[in-house]
Amino acid sequence: MNTGMRRRAVKTVMTLTMAGTLGFGLMTPVASAARNGPCYDGRCTITVSAPKTIKVNSRKFGFKQFKVTHISSRLVAMSTTTTDGVGLSGSTSPGGTVQLNNLRIWVKWVSGRKARLQLSPVPR
């Protein structure tokens, strides 16, 4: 092998290695979402019917899940228990928000017995 061919071979190996590394890095959130649910990181938009339990990152939000307990045309209610055993709950009408610790839950709309929720972390 001459020097030019060695350089191309090394460059090709490095390119493939970097592509593989970057590819696996990008797949990690997808694998986490599949294992823990689409809202685990506190960033999602989801349509739910009550009762529905939504998993989130307990280290980030102080609770491992919250439950949508009631949906009507005028009210969406939810509750959780923190990792310290404190009960939290909230309710709002469509268009309003509920904040459980540092997780904001916006009720985008309600149709029948379904609600569209958008979750987002509250900046610290």
Decide: 83 and 58 in contact? Cβ < 8 Å. yes
Domain that holds residue 8: 1-36
Q: Do 49 and 32 sit in the same domain of this protein?
A: no
Long-range contacts of 99-104 (CB under 8 A, 24+ apart): 100/61, 100/63, 100/66, 101/61, 101/62, 101/63, 102/60, 102/61, 102/62, 103/42, 103/56, 103/61, 103/66
| pLDDT tens, the chain, 124 aa long | 565 555 554 454 444 444 444 444 444 445 555 577 899 999 999 999 989 999 999 999 999 999 999 999 999 999 999 999 999 999 999 999 999 999 999 999 999 999 999 999 998 7
Considering its fold, how many domains does the chain have in total?
2
Q: Do 30 and 55 sit in the same domain of this protein?
A: no
Tell me the C-alpha distance between 74 and 39, whole Å.
24
Decide: 69 and 81 in contact? Cβ < 8 Å. no
Q: Do 76 and 111 sit in the same domain of this protein?
A: yes
**Whose CA is closest to 59, among 8, 102, 114?**
102
The model's pTM: 0.72
Q: Do 79 and 60 sit in the same domain of this protein?
A: yes
Q: Do 50 and 32 sit in the same domain of this protein?
A: no
